[in-house]
Amino acid sequence: MDTEIKKETESESEAKQLKIEGLETLGPYIQEQDNAKNFVYVSDIPQLCMDEPCMLGVDEAGRGPVLGPMVYGIAFCPLSKKDVLKQLGFADSKQLTEEKRDQIFDEMNRKDYAVEALGWAVEAISPNVISMSMLRRTKHSLNEVSMDSAIGLINSAIAAGVNIAEVYVDTVGPPEKYQAKLKAIFPKFKITVAKKADSTYPIVSAASIAAKVTRDHALKVWKFREKPNEEGGNSFGSGYPGDPVTKKFLGEVDLVFGFPRLVRFSWSTAGNALEKKAYDMEFEEEPDPKESQKASYGSEKLSKYFSASKNENRKRNEYFRDRCLEHVMDI
């Protein structure tokens, strides 16, 4: 009985550690994730968001950088609680300092008035996944990756029980086409897709801050698989191609293996750096086994020459001969 109680206590403790309750727990949570894969986090859902009609905002952070994940975020709160968004001071996250964004993120997860009325979720899209999507034979553009993430997060909120009435989205591509796409998927919601929606709609600004703060901290706690992390923190800058620290990092190319997974190989900035410095690599295609089995008209299969004929009496390996070992068919 004591053992069972101990196991339950340990599992409850682990579950608590995996919960983001503010800025202090954000980094440790991200650090536990596999940075070669995407991860989704959904906050606790306030009861008000289940009981009352809600507005939901969608925005991203890290679309342009050559390094690190792109993070999509959503935020939702009851239509009757717009004053909570004003009280928290939501504005376009790009116009706020990093310290101010961190402060707002912390307050939206700690203040009682915020926790009771505001929920959020994020998806961190790994640079590894971005590269593979854009470089595979059947291309999956960054716009498609972005839309898939936004739609997935909205579905996550629906599955969690959020009573969505209105959706506001910062656009990817032409707003009209994106809005029509979302309207076809979610016909019951009032949907608005607009440029610079994070500056116009506070609920989109809330989503923007959730996304931006998550990305900032994902870079701070990034664990390299390919080499040890340098002491003193981030050695690669913001990830934007114009950042001198990022430029220096991209100049340090492994001549054979190129860049670590932190880098989006599908970006021309990364591709150009590799072309200038890295060795040219050629990979021989392995023959298809099925193709080798195909016989041309009027010829025999090549595999025939590598198999023993039925009448051929093959010698057994000397290991078995020396030890007088024979097959046993009947016992």
Euclidean distance between CA atoms 290 and 303, whole angstroms? 11
Q: Nearest Cα to 19, choosing from 135, 113, 110, 91?
A: 110
Read off φ and ψ for residue 238, nearest 5 degrees: -80, -20
Q: Nearest Cα to 262, choosing from 215, 212, 213, 208?
A: 215
Do 16 and 99 meet the contact criterion of CB atoms below 8 Å apart? no
What tokens does 28 get? Answer: 């440790």
Q: Nearest Cα to 109, choosing from 30, 200, 42?
A: 42
Burial of 260 (C-beta count, 10 Å sphere; 0-12/13-18/19+)? middle
322 is in an annotated binding site: no
What tokens does 40 get? Answer: 């989704």
Distance of CA 220 to the CA centre of its chain: 16
60 is in an annotated binding site: yes
330 is in an annotated binding site: no
Would you list which residues are annotated within the binding site for a divalent metal cation? 59-60, 170
Would you list which residues are annotated within the binding site? 59-60, 170
